[in-house]
């Protein structure tokens, strides 16, 4: 069974849980410099985000509470996923960006620059 067909059968609560689980795996892999594990988790996370977006009413709204999650990677991924839905997502990026030299603050700063330049338009 393909992952995408499995994902399409999950409830919104299950998709949100999987989103958190994959985000935590990305953080763990980033901390240990395990690029393969990071990339696999990132690909699955993109699939979860895409599935949520295709649901009636765009179920990515269910990720908005994660903008306050204690884990920086969960917050970052939730912000990226909800940029087109809420100004709170950009505010979350602005909160992450100054948090130091790590990869999550770097990614937040990069996204904020892309938004300001207009080179990225959230959808």
Q: CA–CA distance from 54 to each of 8, 21, 87, 112 (Å)?
A: 10, 21, 21, 25
| 103: exposed, middle or buried (Cβ count in 10 Å: 0-12, 13-18, 19+) | middle
Find out whether 73 and 24 touch, Cβ atoms under 8 Å: yes
Cα 109 off chain centre by: 15
Q: Can you give the pLDDT at residue 4?
A: 66
What pLDDT shows up at residue 3?
A: 56
Q: What is the pLDDT of residue 5?
A: 76
Backbone angles phi, psi at 118, to 5 degrees: 85, 10
Q: Alpha helix (H) ranges present in the chain?
A: 3-8, 12-31, 35-54, 72-82, 87-96, 103-117
pLDDT confidence of residue 2: 47
pLDDT digits (tens), the chain, 123 positions:
345 679 999 999 999 999 999 999 999 999 999 999 999 999 999 999 999 999 999 999 999 999 999 999 999 999 999 999 999 999 999 999 999 899 999 999 999 999 999 999 999
């Amino acid at each position: 069974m393909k992952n995408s067909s499995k994902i399409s059968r999950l409830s919104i609560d299950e998709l949100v849980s999987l989103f958190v689980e994959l985000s935590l795996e990305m953080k763990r892999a980033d901390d240990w410099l395990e690029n393969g594990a990071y990339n696999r988790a990132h690909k699955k996370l993109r699939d979860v985000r895409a599935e949520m977006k295709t649901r009636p009413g765009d179920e990515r709204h269910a990720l908005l509470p994660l903008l306050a999650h204690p884990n920086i990677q969960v917050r970052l991924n939730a912000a990226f996923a909800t940029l087109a839905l809420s100004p709170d997502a950009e505010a979350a990026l602005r909160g992450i960006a100054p948090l130091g030299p790590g990869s999550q603050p770097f990614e937040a700063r990069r996204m904020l620059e892309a938004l300001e330049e207009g080179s990225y338009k959230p959808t």
